[in-house]
Amino acid sequence: MHTVLAPVDNDLPLAGVNLDKVDGKSRTDRVYHQMRDRLMRGIFKPHQRLRISELSQAFGTSETPIREAIFQLIRDGAVEAKTHSYYRVRKLSVAEYMERREIRLLLQPLAARRALEHITESDIDLLERMHGKLVAAEAAKDYETAVRANFDFHFGLYRLSKMPALIGMIENLWIQHGPMLNYLYPEGHPTYAREHQHVYMLRAMRKRDAEALCEGVRQDLIEGGSKFLAYLQERELREAEEAR
């Protein structure tokens, strides 16, 4: 099914900038980072076709920086080129997802630990509001908002680490992972034996307990993602059977 691209959202970074009023290199960089943001937030979907003309209109620029940004995303492993200049968002296999999750289980707790060295009470208050937005969106079955609120919660924390190289590594994983979150709801809806792992994380932040915070990050991926992983495995098996 063909998805028509909406204009760049006003609340996304760099939105509203007339990209044709800056030099060519800057235009490509801006488009590239806008597209990375859309990938991480799950705005682009797995196997969504990326049409140069539509992206040009959505981002308000010529086709050249769009094409150059797509080439960069192909090198990043987030987009794939098909025959006849056909580009689409990559869909991770279960094996690829598991490999990336294993790396995230190392990098994301590290970012959280380093963020704790800089975090303020007002930062924690903001993260708590982001979690509240996630919970409200889930209750309302507004799944797009829930996916983006979850992204805002995690990266609102990780970016406080003040470690740009580390954040870049995590973002490079999320540009591949983000589109897969379109499969999260309702089948892979996160569930927890007790409280939401975000609540444990917030409590650990208030107490400045680095070990508890890191464990909360890990368990949010493992416990909170268990139904999601099961759904991905089931879906991959079903698609393989249908392809026979």
Task: Give pLDDT tens digits for 14-60.
Answer: 333 344 444 556 889 999 999 999 999 999 999 999 999 999 999 99
80 and 117 fall within a common domain: no
Instruction: Say if residue 132 is in the same domain as residue 222.
Output: yes
> Among 40, 33, 29, 30, which residue's Cα sits nearest to residue 176?
40
What is the side-by-side order of every strand in the sheet holding 49-50? 49-50, 86-89, 79-82
Range of the domain at 217: 94-243
Please check whether residues 51 and 101 belong to one and the same domain.
no
Q: 122: how many CB neighbours lie within 10 A of its CB?
A: 8
DSSP annotation of 92: -
Sequence letter at residue 134 = L
How far is 85 from 63, CA to CA, in rounded Å?
Answer: 13
pLDDT digits (tens, 9 = 90+) for 72-99: 999 999 999 988 778 999 999 999 999 9
**Which pair of tokens denotes residue 28?**
């490509």
Co-location of 107 and 222 in the same domain: yes
User: Minimal CA–CA distance to 43: which of 62, 58, 28, 29?
Assistant: 58
Spatial distance between the Cα atoms of 63 and 51, rounded to a whole number of angstroms: 10
How many angstroms separate the Cα of 129 from the Cα of each of 133, 142, 197?
A: 6, 17, 15
Question: Are residues 214 and 184 part of one domain?
Answer: yes
**Amino acid residing at 152:** D
Q: What is the CATH number of the domain that holds 68?
A: 1.10.10.10
Beta strands in the chain (DSSP E): 49-50, 79-82, 86-89
- For residue range 163-186, list pLDDT tens digits in order: 999 999 999 999 999 999 999 999
Kindly give, in sequence order, each residue whose CB lies less than 8 Å from that of residue 200, ignoring residues fewer than 6 positions away: 212, 215, 216, 219
Helix (H) or strand (E) holding 105: helix 94-116
pLDDT digits (tens, 9 = 90+) for 214-231: 999 999 999 999 999 999
Residue 13 lies in a domain: no
Predicted local distance difference test score (pLDDT) of residue 23: 53
Q: Has residue 196 been placed in a domain?
A: yes
Burial class (CB in 10 A: 0-12, 13-18, 19+), 12: middle
Output the CA torsion sign for 57, 16, 77, 101.
negative
Same domain, 85 and 48: yes
